[in-house]
Chain A
């Protein structure tokens, strides 16, 4: 049981390049989330999904797109990376009802130069 797995763990991009971050969970969770973590800002929600085929915007969605084609996977895309997107990205998943503990992946450290 791996929990939540993020790929890749590290990446350096040049301004204007694109990339996709992959999140996979094996807990059969309906809800999945992408957060970014910056110093002094805590965790901020980028996009989330309440089920396969659905996505919704979070607090800081600009510059990012997401897709949830399969229940276990949630992809975060950067179409044209900017230095302001340098951050640590965390994926999380949770149950749908009652107690909604979020289980987090190990994070992806992204640097845009």
Chain B
């Protein structure tokens, strides 16, 4: 079983829809949680970052972390065609030799059609 599980999709939604992307994980040592966005043939770029449990909002994007359930989510409101990309969840902890290393989910391919 992978440490981080993410539904690969693909997910196709109409413009303006609310999108929900999710990851589950098994390593209780994970302390920080990130969402990366990757456009086709590009490197991933950081979209959202949260530390420990809770919510974080940035414009149309909201990241949620529920450490008790080992579950994280990314919500995109009023989705736009420019949001079409692969979304990768990533997690890490700050302890010992694991410091700085990220464990990624498989990525969810999202298409927002006009």
A-B residue pair count with CB separations less than 8 angstroms: 60
A45 neighbours in B (Cβ, 8 Å) = 101-103
Beta-carbon contact of A42 and B88 below 8 Å: yes
Task: Find residues 43-70 in chain A having any chain B CB closer than 8 Å to their own CB.
Answer: 43-45, 48, 50, 56, 58
B45 neighbours in A (Cβ, 8 Å) = 104
* Given known A42-B104, A42-B106, A56-B97, contact A100–B44 (CB-CB < 8 A): no
A31 contacts B by Cβ under 8 Å:
yes
Residue of A nearest to B46 (CB): A101
Beta-carbon contact of B46 and A107 below 8 Å: no
* A9: min CB distance to chain B, Å: 10
B60 neighbours in A (Cβ, 8 Å) = none
A92 neighbours in B (Cβ, 8 Å) = 43
Task: Find residues 11-33 in chain A having any chain B CB closer than 8 Å to their own CB.
Answer: 31, 33
Interface size on B, as a range, is 20 to 34
- B5-40 to A contact mask, C-beta < 8 Å, 1/0: 010100000000000000000000000101000000
What are 27 A-B contacts defined by CB distance under 8 Å? A4-B43, A33-B101, A35-B104, A40-B106, A41-B106, A42-B4, A42-B6, A42-B104, A42-B106, A43-B44, A43-B88, A45-B103, A48-B101, A56-B97, A58-B101, A92-B43, A94-B100, A96-B100, A99-B32, A100-B92, A100-B99, A100-B102, A101-B34, A103-B46, A104-B43, A106-B42, A107-B43
Determine the distance from Cα of A13 to Cα of B34 in the docked complex, in whole angstroms.
34
* A85: min CB distance to chain B, Å: 19
- A76-113 to B contact mask, C-beta < 8 Å, 1/0: 00000000000000101010100111111111000000
* B97: min CB distance to chain A, Å: 7
B49 contacts A by Cβ under 8 Å:
yes
Beta-carbon contact of A99 and B100 below 8 Å: no
Contact of B44 among A41, A50, A104 (CB under 8 A): A104
Task: Find residues 35-64 in chain B having any chain A CB closer than 8 Å to their own CB.
Answer: 41-46, 49
